[in-house]
Amino acid sequence: MRNPLSCPFARPVALLFMLLASWLPAAAFAEGYPGAETGPAVPGYGPVFPVPEGAFALGNDRVYKVSKDVSASADDPGERNRNIEALARFLNMQARAGTAPEQLQVAMVVHGGAWKDLLTDAAYRERFGLANPNTGLLDGLAEAGVAIYLCGQTAAYRGLTPAALNPAVELSLSAMAAHVQLQSEGYTLIPF
């Protein structure tokens, strides 16, 4: 199982995006969430709200390993998957709370109905008649160092080949196997 931050470009790219995001009017990206802003970890996605200083939060004195389970998708194929976007919110909240990118090792395990959200634009268009609304979100998560795993059982059942998947996606034997492996490596599961 690869380390989500093992790519030599993951950290520099994440830092570059954090700098770029600071120059963008982040509130403009937080449509539907008045007062929320996106970034800096995943610019344009994962709107978050400020909270009072001193609120209970992760300590910034250690490295955290976090995994997210995603099995549900939006009913409308033109909408982004809010369950995937929740991971962008987590990363943005932590970045705003002072957690450095190298303090988070993050993985996302996708299975069930959320399979479609990991397709390339071409494969999504072939099935649903439009580009995948999750492409930018997946790219942003990958650039932030998130490892994205698709259940191999789900992929086989749906007849998916690696060519139909976003380049950031890696197949796992199963979602169950991915979770067991990640938890054995010390990852804390965010199940919602």
Query: How buried is 53 (Cβ within 10 angstroms: 0-12 exposed, 13-18 middle, 19+ buried)?
Result: exposed
More confident residue, 54 or 152: 152
pLDDT at 179 over 90: yes
What is the tally of structural domains in the chain?
Answer: 1
Residue 140's pLDDT is: 98
Residue 34's pLDDT is: 85
CATH of the domain at 174: 3.40.1260.10
Of the listed ranges 46-55, 85-94, 113-122, 150-159, the least confidently predicted one is 46-55
Of the listed ranges 12-16, 77-81, 116-120, 122-126, the least confidently predicted one is 12-16
Amino acid identity at 142: A
Residue pLDDT, tens place only, 3-30: 444 444 444 333 333 333 333 333 334 4
Domain membership flag for residue 54: no
End-to-end CA distance of the chain: 23
The secondary structure of the chain as a DSSP string is: ---TT-STTHHHHHHHHHHHHHHS-GGGG-TTSTT-B--SSSTTSS-B----TT-S---SSS-EEEEEEE----SSTTS--HHHHHHHHHHHHHHHTT--GGGEEEEEEE-GGGGGGGB-HHHHHHHHSS--TTHHHHHHHHHTT-EEEEEHHHHHHTT--GGGB-TTEEEES-HHHHHHHHHHTTPEEE--
More confident residue, 163 or 1: 163
Q: Rg of the Cα trace of the chain?
A: 16
Domain membership flag for residue 140: yes
Residue 26's pLDDT is: 37
Domain membership flag for residue 130: yes
**pTM, entire model:** 0.82
Residue 53's pLDDT is: 86
pLDDT bracket for residue 31 (50, 70, 90): low
Domain membership flag for residue 166: yes
Tokens of 70: 């995603």
**Domain housing 94:** 10-49+63-190
Of the listed ranges 45-59, 66-80, 146-160, the least confidently predicted one is 45-59
Domain membership flag for residue 5: no
Amino acid identity at 180: V
Domain membership flag for residue 58: no
Domain membership flag for residue 132: yes
Domain membership flag for residue 2: no
